[in-house]
């Protein structure tokens, strides 16, 4: 059935063309779109989204996939593509085109309400559009189906097989261990990192960020960087991957690690097989694995002493006055300061997981219906004081700080912590298989890391689940112990414990 497989490829590439055309419009919406274009842009995105869904869920698509499922002549990659597409088809058949368009319209309204809410620092503007979206997400969970918890259906969209039960188990292991470590760090003299909070010219920061992206092998012939309200990565194929960053002239850390973080995401997208465009094996494994790539580059490498032994002299040349008298060890300790903070994207490696856990707990309650959007500010503020010991001063620095809910991305947040756990486990394997890795990174050579990821992570697409990919790469399924060991060794050393 060679002709039928070619028909399958052509059809799914056509669907991908439509989806990525919508993605281009969404990228423009978050970067360059003039304000008056918002309403019409929402219509355009909704039309394309609905069209792609209708084409994907057409009975002819199902008939083609059912025919190919029975074909014994397919090679293993072709068969995997067809099997995964058929799974996706059956799942998407549960959502009719009318519902998909309604969801797209709700997301568009919610996103623009979030933008306005942030500008006016007023959650009430966002509250009703968000509640409308939550109601649709509850319906989506019902349509998709679940065994134990409605949130499972949404989590499964981001990482196949991820559940409330498995995630609760990981947090139950992670959070107490981090709390003990945080208590120990709090007994030590706090690190002074005020040198990061001076005036750093945005144009000079931008140029340095571009150099960091080039250093980690981001291909500017297959991508670009822009400015957005919330840093993100998007792709339209493996040869066109866009990242954005946010620059604060009074905080060098903001731009620096958002560049490295989004760069890690982008390397994964650029490394996916171009010849599988539009097919499952040309798509990322899961958002947990995607996040492992950004966190590995941002933290395991980008906040390491070897990395800055190479880059700090260049940074000092760019900002000689601001970094005068600061040693590379001072810088390393400063960028790894552990202290509770309001903003998740600016949080240190340890308290970051409390930010994620708080969002995860709130999302579970929203989807199960035990709370509604109007309850979010009060619960958010209560949890931040309970788990991080800080008072939230306003909505912009509290429950309006993340864009994800405005996009309808419920079920996503746990992948941030799970991705960090995967990153630590991958890094443990990389370090064990190459004992010279620190020396290589200190000399400016990160090629062996990039090469390992090109072999173990990038080329597989969705062929494996997250757990299967992890076991193939590291010899074990996911364990929180690797992140806990990594964190204990790193931060006890930094704080002199």
Residues annotated catalytic, as ranges: 262
| Phi, psi angle pair for 89, to nearest 5° | -60, -50
The answer to whether the CB of 170 falls within 8 A of the CB of 480 is yes
CB atoms within 10 A of CB 493: 12
Number of Cβ within 10 Å of residue 373's Cβ equals 20
3-state secondary structure of 242: strand
- The helices-and-strands tally (H runs, E runs) of the chain is 20, 3
Task: State the Cα–Cα distance between residues 407 and 362, nearest whole angstrom.
Answer: 16
237 phi/psi in degrees, rounded to 5: 180, 175
Which phi-psi region, left, alpha or beta, contains residue 408 (left: φ > 0; alpha: ψ -120 to 50)?
A: left
Q: How far apart are CA 481 and CA 476, in angstroms?
A: 12
CA separation for the pair 167, 155 (Å, rounded): 10
CA distances to 123, 124, 393, 410 from 116, rounded to whole Å, are 9, 10, 19, 21
* Spatial distance between the Cα atoms of 474 and 20, rounded to a whole number of angstroms: 33
Strands 233-237 and 240-245: antiparallel
CA–CA gap between residue 296 and residue 312 (Å, rounded): 20
Neighbouring residues of 373: CB distance < 8 A, sequence distance ≥ 6: 126, 127, 128, 130, 131, 134, 366
Q: Are 149 and 163 in contact (CB under 8 A)?
A: yes
How far is Cα 371 from Cα 337, in angstroms, rounded to an integer? 35
- How many of the other CB atoms lie within 10 Å of CB of 325? 6
8 A C-beta contact, residue 269 and residue 253: no
């Amino acid at each position: 059935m060679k002709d039928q497989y070619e028909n399958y490829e052509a059809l799914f590439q056509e669907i991908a063309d439509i989806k990525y055309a919508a993605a281009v419009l969404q990228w423009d919406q978050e970067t360059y779109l003039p304000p008056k274009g918002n309403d019409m842009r929402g219509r355009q995105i909704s039309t394309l989204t609905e069209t792609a869904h209708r084409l994907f869920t057409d009975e002819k698509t199902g008939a083609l996939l059912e025919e190919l499922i029975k074909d014994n002549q397919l090679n293993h990659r072709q068969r995997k593509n067809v099997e995964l597409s058929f799974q996706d088809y059956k799942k998407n058949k549960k959502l009719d085109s009318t519902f998909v368009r309604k969801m797209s319209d709700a997301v568009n309204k919610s996103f623009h309400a979030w933008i306005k809410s942030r500008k006016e620092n007023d959650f009430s503007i966002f509250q009703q559009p968000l509640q409308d979206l939550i109601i649709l997400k509850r319906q989506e969970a019902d349509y998709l189906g679940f065994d134990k918890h409605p949130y499972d259906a949404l989590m499964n969209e981001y990482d196949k097989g991820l559940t409330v039960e498995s995630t609760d188990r990981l947090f139950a292991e992670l959070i107490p261990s981090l709390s003990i470590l945080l208590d120990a760090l709090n007994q030590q003299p706090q690190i002074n990192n005020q040198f990061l909070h001076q005036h750093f010219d945005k144009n000079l920061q931008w140029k340095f960020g571009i150099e960091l992206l080039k250093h980690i092998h981001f291909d500017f012939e297959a991508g670009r960087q822009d400015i957005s309200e919330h840093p993100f990565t998007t792709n339209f194929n493996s040869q066109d991957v866009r990242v954005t960053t946010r620059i604060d002239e009074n905080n060098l850390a903001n731009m620096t690690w958002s560049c490295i973080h989004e760069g890690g995401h982008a390397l994964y997208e650029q490394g996916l097989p171009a010849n599988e465009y539009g097919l499952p094996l040309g798509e990322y494994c899961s958002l947990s694995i995607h996040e492992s790539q950004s966190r590995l580059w941002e933290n395991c490498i980008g906040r390491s002493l070897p990395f800055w032994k190479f880059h700090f002299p260049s940074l000092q040349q760019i900002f000689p006055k601001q970094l005068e008298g600061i040693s590379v060890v001072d810088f390393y300790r400063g960028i790894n300061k552990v202290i509770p903070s309001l903003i998740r994207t600016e949080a240190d490696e340890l308290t970051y997981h409390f930010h994620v856990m708080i969002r995860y707990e709130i999302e579970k309650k929203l989807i199960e219906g035990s709370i509604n959007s109007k309850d979010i500010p009060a619960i958010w503020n209560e949890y931040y004081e309970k788990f991080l010991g800080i008072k939230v001063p306003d909505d912009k620095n509290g429950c309006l700080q993340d864009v994800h809910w405005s996009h309808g991305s419920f079920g996503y947040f746990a992948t941030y912590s799970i991705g960090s756990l995967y990153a630590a486990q991958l890094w443990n394997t990389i370090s064990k298989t190459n004992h010279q890795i620190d020396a290589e990174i200190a000399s400016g050579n990160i090629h062996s890391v990039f090469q390992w990821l090109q072999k173990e992570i990038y080329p597989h697409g969705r062929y494996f689940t997250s757990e299967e990919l992890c076991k193939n790469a590291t010899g074990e399924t996911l364990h929180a112990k690797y992140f806990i060991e990594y964190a204990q060794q790193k931060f006890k050393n930094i704080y002199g414990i």
